[in-house]
Amino acid sequence: MNTISDRVPASSAQFGIWMGQQMAPLSPCYLTAETIALSGVLDLAALSAAVRDVLNHSATLHMRFEMDDSGLWQWPQTPAAALEYVDFRQQADPDAAAQQWIQQSLAILCDPTRDLLYRSALLQTADDQQLWYLQVHHIALDGFGYGLICQAVAARYSAIVQGLPLPVLPDWSLDKVLQAEKTYKDNGKFSQDQAFWIAHMRHAPGSATIDPAQEFSDEVLRHSTRLGAAKLSALQLAAKQSGQDWGSWMLAAISLWLAKQSGQRQFTFGLPVKNRLGTPAINIPCMAMNIVPMSVYIDPAMSMQDLSRQLAQSMKTIRPHLYYRYGWIRADLGLLEVQKHLFNQAVNIMPFDRLAPFAGLHSVIHPITAGPVKDLNVSVSVLNTEWRVGMEANPNEYSMDILNELQDE
């Protein structure tokens, strides 16, 4: 039985997800998931042991949440992770059957007040083909956290099958993350960041509008295009010639694209940030990411060099204040009460590859969903050594045909 002394406060990042879920209490949209395709002869017992040990060690996965007059709290639960095993080899189309299983899993509501926050399964599609599936409510984990967990599972599996000493699992308790946030609020940095964002957003332009806003959807449309070697080289050369880093140049390119699609020269989009550098969360799986407003001002006479320089300077200006959460900014500007946001689109540049090597197997990571999409999200990322441009869209606003057209432009 839980007692008051057992509970610990939720972080502000968790509170933001909690509030989003309360706006759609019957929606499974805050589930996140990915698979790692494992090709080769897998040692199921070794994987089961690795998954059990790592997931049981991940404190963030074993919580229940409760809201009362004093705030949002989380109650630690007894870890009891297990790897489900589902064999699709006898199905007419094993791969399609596995994907259908995944979509059915993601359609089941996860209530953070009473349900397990995660699900893990090994989906067998052929004698030497399998998918390790991990699904977690966003209140517990962000994309960076997935990387920490998956890499730990891969390292532990590899040690088991190679007969090597098991790697020591680091301290993944949430205490240091919660203490860092308390320190941030107590040492004056919170007030400094609050003053910065209030002043910074005072004259910021509004959202870019490509299509009129529609009702939120549980579903998300996705479209991804691989950047071939020739295209990638051309883009990287253009960035180098502009004198800017790759990230700033790509932000400028996507900003020009948003300007073309919306017909607006001034607008604000959302910029996801890891929010972990310089904090204990850099090594702890949890929900920590933030999203901050990025404003763009485009003059017709601007070159790509000018625009990328503008965005690089904007990043330099806001970088010391990235820890201040988007929900706080909305509250400071009086937008929470009227359910208004500072942007429609989010633009995410992820230049660092994420690998999870399993000894004796070929592994390929496949992100499935990162949570709900309000309007349209654009990403440029490298995964499994391949660069991709991806789009996620609200299907009440966009069709797949429209996404195809947008990606081609």
pLDDT digits (tens, 9 = 90+) for 368-406: 999 899 899 999 888 777 888 889 999 998 888 877 777
Q: Which of 42-51, 121-130, 227-236 shows the lowest per-residue confidence on average (mean pLDDT)?
A: 227-236
CA nearest 181: which of 279, 248, 315, 63?
279
Predicted pLDDT of residue 228: 79
- pLDDT tier, 408 (very low <50, low <70, confident <90, very high otherwise): low
Token digits for 301? 């006479």
d(CA 391, CA 16): 23
Q: Which residue has the tokens 């994309």?
A: 143
Overall fold of domain 188-353+372-408: Chloramphenicol Acetyltransferase (3.30.559)
Specify the pTM: 0.93
Q: How far is CA 23 from CA 16, 28, 218, in A?
A: 11, 12, 12
CA nearest 54: which of 176, 166, 179, 178?
166
Q: How far is CA 140 from CA 32, 80, 218, 262, 367, in A?
A: 10, 16, 19, 35, 17
Q: Which of 211-225, 278-292, 318-332 shows the lowest per-residue confidence on average (mean pLDDT)?
A: 211-225
229-242 and 246-262 helices cross at what angle (nearest 10)?
A: 100
246-262 and 304-318 helices cross at what angle (nearest 10)?
A: 110
Query: Does 4-162 match 188-353+372-408 in CATH topology?
Result: yes
Predicted pLDDT of residue 218: 84
Residue 234 backbone phi and psi in degrees, to 5:
-65, -45
Residue 1 pLDDT exceeds 70: no
pLDDT digits (tens, 9 = 90+) for 266-278: 999 999 999 898 8
Q: Where are the domains of the chain?
A: 4-162, 188-353+372-408
d(CA 255, CA 311): 10
Q: What long-range pairs does 76-81 form, CB within 8 A, spacing at least 24?
A: 76/6, 76/8, 79/55, 80/56, 81/51, 81/52, 81/55, 81/56, 81/118, 81/120
- pLDDT tier, 5 (very low <50, low <70, confident <90, very high otherwise): low
Bridge partners of 291? Answer: 272
Q: Classify 199 as helix, strand or coil.
A: helix
Q: Is CATH 3.30.559.10 the right assignment for the domain spanning 4-162?
A: yes
Token digits for 31? 């589930």
